[in-house]
Structure 1
Amino acid sequence: MINVKICQNISGEMDKANSASGMAVHDDCKLKFLELKAKRSFRFIVFKIEEKIQRVVVEKLGQPEESYEDFTASLPANECRYAVYDFDFTTDENCQKSKIFFVAWSPDTSRVRSKMLYASSKDRFKRELDGIQVEVQATDPSEMSLDIVKARAI
């Protein structure tokens, strides 16, 4: 059983915090994810943990016309992030499909404390985003190349 505490943030919104990691998830994270999933309002979302306030927040929203290269360029070279990407592809049977990828970005050059914080909060945060179909963990851009994403989508 997970202990969940409800915290009210400054703007009066309710956040749930996991007592194990102490990490709250801002309501905007879930709302923007639902917009990506249901309305396809965004191609991708990059999430950041605000360490001072112990909360996951939306850092960047990728517009529907943005490419996978735009997405990977949005991830900082030396800092951890979570991200979701709505990947469109065509199957061998020539069917148009889409899968939502969750990316746990943890570059080798990021701070150890940051890597530990992102790793310990990942599963809890991912559960908040209902509809993720594929997870990719990457420490280097080569581990989330477009070829790897295509192979994982099928």
Structure 2
Amino acid sequence: MVLPPSSSSGVPVHDDCLEQFNILKLKKTLKYIIYGLNDKFTEIVVKSTSASTDYEDFIKELPENEPRWAVYDLEFEKEEGGGIRNKIIFYSWVPGDAKVKARMVAASSKEALRRLLLGVATEIQGTDYSEVDYETVLEKASKGA
């Protein structure tokens, strides 16, 4: 089943997107999920999932020339013995080298996916790898943790 379009682009979200997110959020068996547009730009689909805890593995899945969205279950230690925290981070990855049509559809479709993913704590927007490096994301996620 495909969830109906709820964005200005009219691009629907495949129901597997929400199913995989719930596995990440509730079962904790996944570390991240990569979402993207199908080849015809007509649907948001799951491109990949992983249980790898290596942040670099996650970053390698963000292509240099194609938009993606992702969720990452970030685990970090709060400063001064504040304990371990987990936050689900939503990424909007739209590199400058992406084709214009792909960037436009990605921009207008993001909210359709984002609204379905209840429990996301922080959102990161990236157009190059420096904006999604671990330290940058950790700094943003740890505020108010």
Q: Please, what TM-score do these two structures have when normalized by structure 2?
A: 0.92
Q: Which structure 2 segments of 5+ residues have no match?
A: none
Aligned residue runs from structure 1 range 118-129, under 5 A: 118-129=106-117
The Cα of 1:18 is off from its aligned counterpart by 2.4
Q: Which amino acid aligns with 1:68?
A: Y
2:61 paired with 1:55: no
Q: Which amino acid aligns with 1:112?
A: V
Structure 1 residues 52 and 149: alpha-carbon distance in aligned structure 2, compared to 1, 3 A threshold: same
Identity of aligned residues (%): 38
Q: Which amino acid aligns with 1:81?
A: R
> Between Structure 1 and Structure 2, whose CA radius of gyration is higher?
1
The Cα of 1:113 is off from its aligned counterpart by 1.0
Partner SS state of residue 60, structure 1: strand
Q: Which amino acid aligns with 2:67?
A: C
Moved over 6 A (4+): none
More displaced, 16-25 or 36-45?
16-25
Structure 1 residues 80 and 19: alpha-carbon distance in aligned structure 2, compared to 1, 3 A threshold: closer
Aligned residue among 117, 124, 146 for 2:105: 117
1:79 is matched with 66
Alignment length, in residue pairs?
Answer: 141
The Cα of 1:125 is off from its aligned counterpart by 1.2
Structure 1 residues 91 and 29: alpha-carbon distance in aligned structure 2, compared to 1, 3 A threshold: same
Kindly report the root-mean-square deviation, in angstroms, between the aligned alpha carbons of the 2 structures. 1.3
Considering fraction of residues, name the structure with more strand. Answer: 1
Q: Which structure 1 segments of 5+ residues have no match?
A: 1-12
The Cα of 1:140 is off from its aligned counterpart by 0.2
2:18 is matched with 30
1:92 is matched with 79
2:123 paired with 1:141: no
Once residues 68 and 21 of structure 1 are traced to their aligned partners in structure 2, the CA distance between those partners, rounded to angstroms, is: 31
Once residues 152 and 19 of structure 1 are traced to their aligned partners in structure 2, the CA distance between those partners, rounded to angstroms, is: 27
Structure 1 residues 147 and 24: alpha-carbon distance in aligned structure 2, compared to 1, 3 A threshold: same
Aligned residue among 66, 72, 76 for 2:53: 66
Once residues 73 and 19 of structure 1 are traced to their aligned partners in structure 2, the CA distance between those partners, rounded to angstroms, is: 28
